[in-house]
């Protein structure tokens, strides 16, 4: 199986499962990721998704054997489009997605992490926009995600130079949210994800949607979008529950309704 999934305590876990090739992307793996994200998104028991890689890498980018085998331009375009659908699936997923970066995130792997909503990384792991080293440009949405994360000038530098950025440097730049020792990463990520899964699902989903749209809307358009969303949430059962729990000084029991 090219991907592994499981769920517990409201959290869906999605792992790339090509450890012998450092979870490098093939067209088949990309298709399986898209399908797995869709299944977890549709599962009412899953409120948060954690995305990671099996073995010692998060994702080393595009599979080199697959790239070498491409001889026709139209085939190359189709391969890159298939890979890009993984970033699109993660970014557009209604539910919060946490990238648990357990090892190197190179090339497309870096951009898959950026397509997620939060990035938790093992201490010392490296992120690399490695494309220029082999005569390519970033794909899987790199030109969209990286400038939004660190600014266009730093994004240009990272892409031009193709030098490793450590998790610690990534946290200073702003695209890494938390760093843990490698042996503590999974447990710390799970603790956070379970806590996040207990929060109001509709609130988190709509926050993600509005934030993802921010760059495409004027202030007036965003205010209208906020009002439309908030109008629905104010009269939702979860909002009523949240207000009652606040007044009664207890933990709310949100149901996504």
Q: How far is CA 2 from CA 19, 67, 158, in A?
A: 10, 18, 30
DSSP assignment of 200-241, as one string? -HHHHHHHHHHHHHGGGS-HHHHHHHHHHHHHHHHTSHHHHH
Q: Do 133 and 103 form a contact (C-beta atoms < 8 A)? A: no
What span, in angstroms and rounded, lies between the C-alpha atoms of 245 and 123? Answer: 38
- Whether the model pTM is above 0.75: yes
| pLDDT(157) > 90 | yes
- Range 148-174 average pLDDT: 97
Q: Do 166 and 110 form a contact (C-beta atoms < 8 A)? A: no
What span, in angstroms and rounded, lies between the C-alpha atoms of 19 and 210? Answer: 35
Q: Which class for 210: exposed (0-12), middle (13-18), buried (19 or more C-beta within 10 A)?
A: middle
pLDDT tens, residue by residue, 64-116: 889 889 889 999 999 999 999 999 999 999 999 999 999 999 999 999 999 99
70 DSSP assignment = -
């Amino acid at each position: 199986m090219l991907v592994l999934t499981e769920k517990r305590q409201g959290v869906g876990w999605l792992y790339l499962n090509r450890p012998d090739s450092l979870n490098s992307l093939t067209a088949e793996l990309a298709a399986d990721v898209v399908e797995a994200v869709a299944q977890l998104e549709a599962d009412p028991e899953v409120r948060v998704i954690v995305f990671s890689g099996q073995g010692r890498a998060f994702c080393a980018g595009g599979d080199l054997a697959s790239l070498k085998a491409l001889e026709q331009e139209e085939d190359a375009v189709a391969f890159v489009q298939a890979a890009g659908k993984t970033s699109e699936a993660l970014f557009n997923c209604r539910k919060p997605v946490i990238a648990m970066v357990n090892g190197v995130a190179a090339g497309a792997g870096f951009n898959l992490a950026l397509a997620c909503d939060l990035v938790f990384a093992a201490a010392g792991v490296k992120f690399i926009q490695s494309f220029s080293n082999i005569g390519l440009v970033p794909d899987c949405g790199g030109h969209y995600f990286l400038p939004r994360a660190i600014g266009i000038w730093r994004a240009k530098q990272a892409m031009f130079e193709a030098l490793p950025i450590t998790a610690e440097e990534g946290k200073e730049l702003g695209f890494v949210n938390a760093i843990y020792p490698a042996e503590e990463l999974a447990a710390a990520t799970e603790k956070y994800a379970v806590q996040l899964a207990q929060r109001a699902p509709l609130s988190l989903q709509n926050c993600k949607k509005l934030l993802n749209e921010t760059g495409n809307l004027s202030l007036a358009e965003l205010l209208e979008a906020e009002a439309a969303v908030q109008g629905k949430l104010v009269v939702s059962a979860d909002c009523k529950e949240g207000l009652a729990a606040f007044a009664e000084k207890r933990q709310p029991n949100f149901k996504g309704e």
